[in-house]
Amino acid sequence: MDNAFFVNGRFFGQRITGVQRHAYELTKVLASKGLRFKILTPQNLELPEEFGHLQCAVGKREGTIWEQTDLYSFVQDKGVPLLNFCNTAPIRYHRNWVTIHDLGVFVNSAWFSRKFSAWYKYLMPRIIKKAECILTVSQTIGGDISERFGREADAVLYNGVPSNWAQVEGTIKENVVLMVGTPSSRKRFELVTVLADEFAAAGFRLVVVGERDRNLKASSSNEQEVFKVDDEGLRSWYARSKFVISASDFEGFNLPILEGMYFGCQPLLSDIPVHREIYGDFALYFSNAESLRNIIEKLGEKFADIKHPPETWWKERSYEESGNKLIGLLNKT
């Protein structure tokens, strides 16, 4: 029996960020429904056991070159949708379904390495123009796509909490403010880290968990120690922390905030449109160092006032819900 669609599995060989987490979890939902599809990968990738029966290794190359040559050569005459969950896709294929997570390179190319920025500025307009279906992770980014490229996104597929993440039993909340992500200029880690002493004076420890990314420009004044942890370690920090903080200038969704909320953290967020869309009244917002200082001074009482989102809020922000929405779209093709 022919496959109904293919999944571009290049992401299985990439470092896990929110983008790859989105791809992994949606692929997991698709696999759980018994749909007819294969995950196309380079020859050198070995998939997790749960996906092994779906893998189809093609070509001889790796990375971007594999995606634009070997992957295209395999799918070009198949005539079925190719799901690309991580911003990129083979330019020449006519049935690409592409998830655009953000348009950061067009907002400020200085946030990224010159090579990365140049490639994405070439690639993304061509993909968006030609794709059969455009998906994104927030209404905010959908609006950006429409404004910049004159094309409406076909669906918004919100991120969620990984399906295998369970609450960490027996963990007591500590006076920790957790910042998660890749230190880069657009994340504005330095706006938070320069206030580490003020957090301490308020009785809180500032902890940064993340990993450097060669495609992103590092923050100029970030002297805070950055801890690199695995998923288990990250869950442990979420469970221990009272607050999760982000000072980002620009985001497509900002998944660590949702993950932190799942473990009972109160979000402290920069006042940008996507934060307002995704996290609404369940966060405290700041626009600059002074407004953050005002929050820090009252951190103890702020945690006591935490609001908990209802089940309907969490359902909308789940991979199961987004996966079902995606399947609904596929069933219409």
Evaluate whether the domain defined by 174-314 bears CATH number 3.40.50.2000. yes
Residue in this structure with the two tokens 């009272």, named with its chain if needed: 242
- The CATH class for the domain spanning 5-159+318-331 reads alpha beta
pLDDT score recorded for residue 225? 56
Is the four-CA dihedral 17, 267, 248, 88 of positive or negative sign? positive
pLDDT score recorded for residue 226? 62
Question: What whole-number distance in Å separates Cα of residue 34 and Cα of residue 50?
Answer: 13
pLDDT score recorded for residue 163? 87
pLDDT score recorded for residue 219? 45
Question: What whole-number distance in Å separates Cα of residue 19 and Cα of residue 65?
Answer: 20
Question: What whole-number distance in Å separates Cα of residue 260 and Cα of residue 129?
Answer: 36
Nearest to 265 by CA among 190, 202, 188, 204: 204
Nearest to 231 by CA among 175, 317, 162: 162
Dump strand ranges (E) for the chain: 5-8, 37-41, 55-57, 82-84, 96-100, 133-136, 155-156, 174-180, 205-209, 226-227, 241-246, 266-270, 284-286
The CATH 3.40.50.2000 portion of the chain extends over 5-159+318-331, 174-314
Instruction: Classify 312 as helix, strand or coil.
Output: helix
Residue 50 burial (CB < 10 Å; 0-12/13-18/19+)? exposed
Q: Determine the Cα angle at 55 with ends 76 and 77, to 5°.
A: 10
Element (H, E) at 70: helix 70-75
Tokens matching residue 237: 């920090």
Tokens matching residue 144: 């950006």
Give mean pLDDT in consecutive 10-residue pieces for the chain, a chain of 333 residues: 90 94 98 96 95 96 97 97 98 98 96 95 97 98 98 98 86 94 87 94 92 48 61 93 96 97 96 98 96 93 80 97 98 91
Q: Global pTM?
A: 0.93
Tokens matching residue 220: 């100029």
Residue 164 burial (CB < 10 Å; 0-12/13-18/19+)? exposed
pLDDT score recorded for residue 258? 98
Nearest to 328 by CA among 29, 54, 94: 29
pLDDT score recorded for residue 301? 81
